[in-house]
Amino acid sequence: MMTIKGSISSLVVPLCLLFLSLPLLSQTALSAPSTTVNPLQMHQLMTQRKTPLHLGRWKRSARVERKDEFDPTANFRDRILYSTRNLIVSNTTTPASEVNALLAIKRSIWTDPTRILANWTLENNFSVCSTWKGVICNTMGQVAQLHLEGMGLNGTIAPQIGNLVHLIYLNCSGNSLRGPIPELEGCQELATLDLSVNSLNGSLSPKLFALPKLELLVLSNNSFSGPLPEVAENGCRSMTEIWVELANLSGTLPSSLSRCRNLTALWLSSNSFSGKIPSQLGLLKKLEQLSLWNNSLEGQIPPSLGMLSQLQILWLDDNNLTGSIPSSLGMLNQLQELTLQKNNLTGTIPSSLGNCSSLGYLDLCTNQLSGEIPSELGNMPQLWYLSLSLNGLTGDFPLPLCNVSSLQFLSMYSNMLNFNASALSCLSECANLEYLALQDNKIYGSIQQLDFTKWASLKYFNVAGNKLIGRIPPSFGSVNSTLTVADFGRNKFTGGFSGEVDGNNLSELFFLAFGHNQLEGVIPSWFGNLKTLQVLDLSSNKLTGGIPSSFRNLDQFRLPPKPLNANTQNTTYYSTWYPNLEFGTSYMDLSSNALDGELPLELTELVTLKYLNLSNNNLHGRLWPTIQNLNALEFLDISKNNLSGPLPSTLPAALSRFNISLNNLSGTIPSGNQYATFPETSYLPGNPGLCGIVIHRPCVDAESENSEYTDSPCISNYISLPGFEIGAAAGFFMAMLTFITWAPARLFMLRAEKQQGPPRYGLYTPKF
């Protein structure tokens, strides 16, 4: 009786301590930062909503990128097990076979920078469960969990790990382990296996799917080879999640995966799988997440996927899929994300997708889809991301989309949409809109009715490359401070810049393009208030007047570039119209206008400017003597103006493109510095007063600068032509007079030469 009471009391104390520690553990779990993306938390991560400027890749990078740091206590369940292991098993002894297996694991590790295995010694073999770090035992003293994640271990996984027959949890992720995965047939109790983010190689054994209690298999970020193994008839009975992304697997997807009837998550993206998507995957009735993106899969999307009634995530993008989008996908009422971009899909967008009432993220861009955009897409109340760009879509704008108040990201660029821009006015009701990309279509009419003030969160606006007319919307001058990109280029906008814009209102704007329109009037001085502006394109308009001196206030042209935030870095802002424009490059194009006046000296203060085009205007004066101050300048075109005077002695060292042709510049082209590196077409035609080796036009001194130069000496360079003519005539007549009046001269010229006589030379006879 006393023994029973003692046993009960010995259990009560640790249980009470455990109960009291739960609030502290909970607080710690909530407050401690975690650097690990735990597979058990992936579902919550996927359903978390991020800004659309991440373009949908934020979730993927979180799963597949290698992590430098891992937190072994990121999972709250693990924290409790860590904190209570001493209380539960302090008086138990681990079986010798398991101790030997752990020691073999230690011997297979070459480097242990955190010394987590330092106390795995025979001296401590009677307290394995309480002192060996990373080891958690059950109440019988048997090794139940092994936590070695994120410890920087370098080595292999010892085959003796299969002797841990009571192991239910094995996590060695985030290390530098290599070699194959050993046989784990002995680990019949194993429920969680996480070996992700290592350098493991070799092929995967089919026996992994035969472990009867294995629920979670995570092998992502490794260097395996070969295919995903077939699943035996009775295998994969307990498997709920499979994560094998970025693992270098190849071959076809086994149809036997359909035997994993309890599977809720299947992540096989970023491998080299080929062939077709097995239609048998439609038998996985519990499947919630299916990710096969970034492979080489081909063929059609199986209509059977429409039978996955629990499916929430379907990522099939970045493959070689063909055919049409199955209308059966419209039966997926739980679907939240559908990504089919970057395939070769054809046909129309099925209107049945409008039945996916939970769909929030839909990306169909970069395919060969045709036809009109179905208005049924406006029936999805949760839709916040819609990308239909880079297809062959035609027809009108689907007005029901304006009723989707949750819409944040709308991209339809590079299609053949042909509608009146007045249809876009209803988008002002989408108060949460952040990204609107409609460039490179056939949209016509005016957008003056757009009310920019309704878009409090607008970051990106692009209507370039359409057939828009009329004035720039007056409300653009009152746009909020979140706007970063505004592109009105390549249209037929007319008029000037209406109203005054407060630069403080555009505190985030760094890309502004009005190029290739028919805008008139002067460039307003308020452009100088745009402190964050890095790209300004006003080219090919009818602008007049001078270049505002306020441009000297453009901070991003004269100060080190502003660091870009995460949203900006992950967004494709520039269209194909700026193919060579590196993101963040300071760029100014005022070419092909009617600008006049002198080149403002203030432009030489823009020391971080890389691209400057002022060509085809009416600018006059001389090229700045201090142009070398623009030490970041790589492109300079001031051709087709009225510049005059000499060239500056030096050019910016970084300059690689230079054009000053069709001006009235004069003087010698310096032979040193950057001048000699540019071709003759950088200076000619035009500039008749320029000379120098670069253009093969010799220079002259002041006394003879009006003479005509040739490549070789000419007699006319040394004598006077009138004097030469008079002297020649006088000499001729004197010779004739001598010939007629002097007999010896006649005899000398007319007689036959005597062979025996002394030689005579000229008019005189030498004496010997």
How many whole angstroms separate alpha carbon 627 and alpha carbon 699?
24
Mean pLDDT computed over 264-290: 98
Question: Which range is most confident: 69-73, 528-532, 688-692?
Answer: 688-692
Q: Considering only residues 223 and 760, tell me which one the structure prediction assigns the higher pLDDT.
A: 223
Q: Model confidence over 17-74: pLDDT tens digits?
A: 444 343 333 333 323 233 233 333 333 333 333 333 333 333 343 333 333 333 333 4
CATH class of 294-406: alpha beta
Q: Which position has the higher pLDDT, 676 or 321?
A: 321
Check whether the bond before 685 is cis (ω within 30° of 0): yes
> Do the domains at 58-273 and 294-406 have one common CATH topology?
yes
Note the pLDDT tens digit of each residue in 369-407.
Answer: 999 999 999 999 999 999 999 999 999 999 999 999 999
In this predicted structure, the answer to whether residue 724 has a pLDDT above a threshold of 50 is no
What integer is the mean pLDDT of 677-704?
A: 85
| Three-state SS at 742 | coil
CA dist list (Å): 113 to 35, 72, 97, 196, 350:
19, 16, 27, 19, 56
Residue with tokens 């009715």: 449
The closest of 294, 226, 290, 284 to 257, measured between CA atoms, is 284
Give how far Cα 408 sits from Cα of 349, 404, 435, 554, Å. Answer: 21, 9, 6, 30
**Statement: residue 702 has pLDDT above 60:** no
Contacts for 354-357 with beta carbons within 8 Å, 24 or more apart? 354/330, 354/378, 354/379, 354/380, 355/330, 355/331, 355/379, 356/329, 356/330, 356/332, 356/380, 357/333, 357/381, 357/382
d(CA 739, CA 762): 13
30/227: higher pLDDT? 227
Phi/psi of residue 114, each to 5°? -90, -5
Q: Determine the pLDDT at residue 390.
A: 97
- Domain residue ranges in the chain: 58-273, 294-406
Q: Looking at per-residue confidence, does 80 or 162 come out higher? A: 162
Q: Provide the percentage of residues in the chain whose pLDDT is more than 90.
A: 62
CA–CA separation, 246 vs 269, rounded Å?
A: 7
Cα–Cα dist 704/242, whole Å: 88
Whether the predicted pLDDT of 166 surpasses 60: yes
For residue 464, what pLDDT is reported? 97
pLDDT on residue 180? 97
Mean pLDDT confidence for 411-430: 95
Residue 412: its pLDDT value, please? 98
Q: Check pLDDT > 90 for residue 671.
A: no
Task: Say if residues 371 and 418 touch (Cβ distance below 8 Å).
Answer: no
Minimum mean pLDDT range among 180-184, 613-617, 669-673, 695-699: 669-673
Contact in structure between 563 and 587 (CB atoms under 8 Å): no
pLDDT in tens, 320-376: 999 999 999 999 999 999 999 999 999 999 999 999 999 999 999 999 999 999 999
Quick one: the chain helix, strand, coil %, rounded to 5? 30, 20, 55
pLDDT of residue 481: 76
The pLDDT value given to residue 569: 40
Q: Which residue has the tokens 């009391």?
A: 9
Q: What is the pLDDT of residues 473-493, one digit of tens each?
A: 888 877 777 899 999 999 999
Q: Hey, what are 448's tokens?
A: 């003056």
Block residue for tokens 């010892």 = 158
In this predicted structure, what is the pLDDT of residue 93? 84
The full 3-state SS of 432-497, as one line of letters, equals: CCCEEECCCCCCEEECCCCCHHHCCCCCEEECCCCEEEECCCHHHHHCCCCCCEEECCCCEECCCC
CATH topology of domain 58-273: 3.80.10
Name which of 168, 158, 167, 182 is nearest 105 in CA terms.
Answer: 158
Question: What H or E segment, with its residue span, contains residue 620?
Answer: strand 618-621
What's the predicted TM-score (pTM) here? 0.79
CA angle 443, 447, 452 (to 5 degrees): 125
Q: Which two tokens stand for residue 374?
A: 């179905």
The pLDDT of residue 35: 28
Query: What is the length of the chain?
Result: 768
Quote the distance between the C-alpha of residue 24 and its chain's center: 44
Place of tokens 């997926």: 332
Can you name the residues that pair with 201 across neighbouring β-strands? none
636-644: list long-range contacts, CB under 8 Å, 24+ apart: 636/612, 637/591, 637/612, 637/613, 638/599, 638/614, 638/663, 639/615, 639/663, 639/686, 640/615, 640/616, 641/614, 641/615, 641/616, 641/617, 642/618, 643/599, 643/619, 644/620
Condensed to tens digits (0 to 9), the pLDDT of residues 549-566 reads 899 889 888 877 655 444
Say how far apart CA 514 and CA 488 lie, in whole Å. Answer: 5
**pLDDT > 70: what percent of the chain?**
75
**pLDDT digits over 82-114, tens only?**
433 333 444 568 899 999 999 999 999 999 999
